[in-house]
Amino acid sequence: MSTQELRKERIDRGIKVRSDGLYALMSLRELSYLTLPRIILIAGMLALPFLMPDMYWQRVISIVCIYAILALSFDFMAHYVGLVSLGGAFFIGTGGYIAGILNSYFGIPPMLTVPLAAIMGGAVCTLLLFPCLPLKGVYFAIVTLMYPLFMARIIEAFDIFGGTDGLVGIDSFSSAFAEQYLVIGMVLIFLFGLRRFVTTDMGLIFTAVMDNDQAVRASGINITRYKALAVFIASAMGCMAGACLTHIYMWSGISQFALDFSILPIAATVIGGSGTLVGPLIGCLILVPVSELLRDFGTLRIVFYASILVGFILFRSDGIMAFGQRKYEQFERWKKI
């Protein structure tokens, strides 16, 4: 039979339908259907430092987590607030420099600089981005892309905070385990925290601002305040990741404003699945190690990297997560027309 007489239909799996209701609480099978994917993700992330004890790969795990936090913040901003931000590098750089300054000038230990950098960095980024909040779409993206370039040139031109050499001799975390579990813990807390947050009533305001900001204004809600809050959440996450990066490399410098930090999280979000929040983490878990493995190819690695991206955009534009979720929840069969 030709495909003209057949069509593919997708039907929800019985277990998916059953586990939507109360039944899920009464049967171990339905309960595990619901919780297993989450448990596997959490357990897998926590086990990573043991699975890869090699020094080199330990560092890669930390970098994966830092990119994952950035990708989470991008996904939240772009698909739950409607602000497409290319500010990853801006957040990382600001957080990184704040942590570096606090540590090398004032001697504050890493366990305090990280939360301080999140709050102070979030405030700085929100303040600088505040005038751009009425902008939408590509215009907002351009402004957020301008800031990291601007900051790097300012530091270079005025020769402040160590100038082109950067701040050196910054304290590292107490041990490799402390470093890894800090970043892994942050990723998991941000991931599940954001997933919960976007479904709350306040989270719905953000979605509404994305869908139709004029209608939100007509509902008596100050949209600028909510956009600023969203930018603060996203930039505080990014700054926290930047602070960790500073302590991991024991150095903060101009290269923390490099555009890799803006671009790779977006690529990871596209590969993992936009708007899912888990997707960006999965994307980073794939992209960052792949880019490390391709290091042997020298400059050719960009070519491989780009082909992977193009492949995903052409054939799986909804991302791994959306594909996986569909397979997990539905089965497909051919049906005669």
Partner 1 sequence: MTQPILKMNKISKSFGGVQALKDVSFDVFQGDILGIIGPNGSGKTTIVNCITGFIKPTSGKIYFKGKNITGKKPHKIADMGVTRTFQVMRPYHSLPAYKNLVIPLFSPRAKRTGGWRGGGSLGDRQTVAIDILEEIGFERDSYIPFKKTSTLPTGYLKRLELARCLALKPEIIICDEVFSGLSMSEIASMVPLIERLQDEGITIVMIEHRLRELFQVANRVMVLNFGEKLIEGTPSQVMADEKVKEAYFGSEKVEEVMTYA
Sites of contact with partner 1 (CB under 8 A)? 201-202, 204-205, 207-208, 210-212, 214-223
User: How near is the Cβ of 136 to partner 1 at its closest, in Å?
Assistant: 15
Of the candidates 232, 308, 233, the residue with the CA atom closest to the CA atom of residue 268: 308
User: Minimum CB separation from partner 1 for residue 195, in Å?
Assistant: 16
Structure tokens at 258: 């490099």
Return the number of the residue (174 or 199) whose C-beta is nearest partner 1.
199
Rounded to the nearest whole angstrom, what is the least distance from the CB of residue 82 to partner 1 in the complex?
Answer: 10
Q: Which is nearer to partner 1, 174 or 212 (CB)?
A: 212
Provide the minimum distance between the beta carbon of 290 and partner 1 in the complex, in angstroms, as a whole number: 32
The torsion defined by the Cα of 296, 256, 248 and 182, in degrees rounded to 10, comes to -110
Q: How far is the CB of 78 from partner 1 (least distance, A)?
A: 13
The residue whose two tokens read 């204004």 is: 217
- 41 or 221, CB closer to partner 1? 221
Of the candidates 258, 257, 203, 190, which has an alpha carbon nearest to the alpha carbon of residue 230? 203
Where is 336: in which H helix or E strand?
strand 330-336
Closest contact distance (angstroms) between CB of 317 and partner 1 is 18
Nearer to partner 1, 208 or 294 (CB): 208
Instruction: List the structure tokens of 87.
Output: 């500010």
- Secondary structure letter of residue 216 according to DSSP: H
- The residues pairing with 246 across neighbouring beta strands, listed in sequence order, are none
DSSP assigned state of 80: I
**What 3-state DSSP class applies to 84?**
coil
Which DSSP state fits 108? -
Indicate the residue among 31 and 221 with the shorter CB distance to partner 1. Answer: 221
| Biggest alpha carbon–alpha carbon distance for the chain | 76
